[in-house]
Amino acid sequence: MTHESTAVGLASAYSNATTASGDWWRDAVIYQVYVRSFADSDGDGIGDLRGVRSRLPHLARLGVDAVWLTPFYVSPQADGGYDVADYRAVDPLFGDLADADELVRAAHGLGLRVIVDVVPNHTSEQHPWFRAALAGEPGARERYLFRRGRGADGSLPPNDWESIFGGPAWTRVADGDWYLHLFAPEQPDLDWTHPEVTAEFDSVLRFWLDLGVDGFRIDVAHGMVKADGLPDIGRGAQATLIGTEPLPFFDQDGVHEIHRAWRRLLDSYEGRRIGVAEAWAPSSERLALYVRPDELHQAFNFRFLNCPWDPEAMRTVIDESLSATTAVGAPTTWVLSNHDVVRHVTRYGGGRQGLARARAAALLMLALPGSAYLYQGEELGLPEVTDLPPESRQDPAFRRVRRPQIPVPAGAPAPGSGPAAPGIIAPRDGEPPAPTPCEPAPEPQLAPQPHGHTGPEAEPGTCPAPEAQGHTGPGAGPGPEAGGGLGPEADAGGGPGVDPLTAPEAEGQDGLRDGCRVPIPWDGPEPPYGFGPAGSWLPQPPAWAGLSVAAQTGDPHSTLELYRAALELRRAMPGLGAPGAGPSPDPRGMRWLPAPDGVLLFTRPGFACTLNTRPDAVELPAPGRPVLSSAPVETDGRTVRLPPDSCTWWAF
């Protein structure tokens, strides 16, 4: 018999023990909403909070447990809202505070929790604190990391640190001082040794907790504390070291006291409010420190996202991730895409092959112990949009422009004359801002960069290399058909054979993040596909009509129905969900079994999962009764023929 790609629900429903006990985050499926691209309520082409609220029923029907909203605070939008000017107000671009309150209430009414971003490492240069610092207000600069420069006239940066976005991590103001910005110059780093900074963010967290949010995704949770004395690193290409080697500006031990204080604050509220760390550390063991019992509840596991389509690599990442978090009693998180990385349909090769692998990877992820994060549109099988016209691009990294020297009060001393020092960004007289030129990358970077709003594809200041996408060598690019069950979305968007890393429009630093931020399609035969009353801030591909929510609803072969079925079964089967659910000799409730080359097979209580990463079908003894598969499987009850690039769930 051939088992279809989606399954009916099991006869009896089951509520995971962790959900019933209140530790909902341990096995939660959390859906990331990139607010700008989710739904537009007012016809300006930009998504907003009212638009999100109107589409919450889709998320409830999908079966997720919580919604994570990207920043919607008052911001100049120099970096997609991760440059915050007012942490307690909604930017008019997205609505107002009443809209935020109504969204939270509506989500709760549908059984959805709400997580919001908090950005504590840096503010916007338009934040009142930084404006006061530039205006010379006494003590204002102490909230940030201002320093005098090196050299006889102070014209050299205070140390050799590099910005994640490229170039020095220091910018000089007109009176000669320099300020630290680990990201864009518009994002000055705060000094977390200053008591006013600590008090301010305690107040910000309480403001949103009082409004009813269920937790925070903490941007750059590893970055708020810098090593004493701000020592030199002594080598360049520093972004390539993040997550692999100790660095004086990331993963300092002092950050853990901040997170312990925040955990105490979160625990003081009813309803199990949580903190989620966007943290990078040199090892799985260091990362696990962020989720010790008295610190945060979750930390993103980017190693899984970056893992190639290779069974041994996948198994290694899974084992090491589970081992590290189990040692501290925390759940592991799994994620395949987000608003800063190329969508995994495209990373896995694009076209039908990429979609087949993406569907299989989703089932693998949802079968693993712990919590999973979905990025908006992945449930539709959306590929990366690789052919956006340059004039429509809005990623600030697409063209890094030269910035004028920052002004200081009249009468303040000016820096020495002569050529601009490193870090001072000023156009020539009468010359428009120019893009920063690309330089050849010394080596391709396979890991996403360690920031919730930075691109993963290349070292800052370089042109991206083809391998930096996460493509897997010969498997990249359009591949053979994956065996059926793929629906009309197999060849939509971007187009097979278009490499977003070498496309001519991929100018600037990396400039590739717009391709995963194109507004998602809801219904209708042409753009904006129900996104809003008018157009959309980024153009949507004409082939996306077949990928819309409306087009895929009810089609048992569609990616949307595959996700809906997987989330229904995840709730219904006692062996899925949190670590330790059900009896097992392994404390994680998971055990690997022998399998043919190219195949992964593991069991959890009453459940088995098979992943075939090979380009051909594989026969093996049936582990049980098939309940869900990313592509049709053939089984006689004793043996099974697994399609290429597919994942199947089994009950026994």
- The number of helices, as runs of H, and strands, as runs of E, in the chain is 14, 22
Angle between helices 195-211 and 255-267 (to 10 degrees): 30
Residue 144 and residue 150 in contact, taking contact as beta carbons nearer than 8 Å: no
411, HSE (Cβ side, Cα atoms, 13 Å)? 2
Let me know if 278 is a catalytic residue: yes
Q: What is the per-residue burial (b if ≥16 Cβ within 10 Å, else e) of 349-363?
A: bbbbbbbbbbbbbbb
Q: Which two tokens stand for residue 248?
A: 């004086």
Q: Residue type at 255?
A: V
* DSSP secondary structure string for all residues of 560-595: HHHHHHHHHHHHH-TTSSSTT-S--SSTTS-EE---
Q: Which two tokens stand for residue 300?
A: 């993103």
CA angle 242, 344, 525 (to 5 degrees): 140
What's 183's DSSP letter?
S
Residue 336 and residue 303 in contact, taking contact as beta carbons nearer than 8 Å: no
For residues 338 and 473, give the distance between their C-alpha atoms in angstroms, rounded to a whole number.
22
For residues 278 and 455, give the distance between their C-alpha atoms in angstroms, rounded to a whole number.
14
Catalytic one of 219, 295, 459, 568: 219
For residue 447, give Cα distances in angstroms to 140, 224, 239, 308, 548: 37, 22, 10, 11, 30
For residues 281 and 286, give the distance between their C-alpha atoms in angstroms, rounded to a whole number.
6
Let me know if 191 is a catalytic residue: no
Instruction: Name beta bridge partners: 625.
Output: 651
372, HSE (Cβ side, Cα atoms, 13 Å)? 25
Q: Which two tokens stand for residue 651?
A: 């009950």
Catalytic one of 99, 189, 278, 395: 278
Residue 64 makes CB contacts below 8 A (sequence gap 6+) with 29, 30, 31, 112, 374, 567
Q: Which two tokens stand for residue 477?
A: 């690019």
What's 440's DSSP letter?
B
Active site residues per annotation: 219, 278
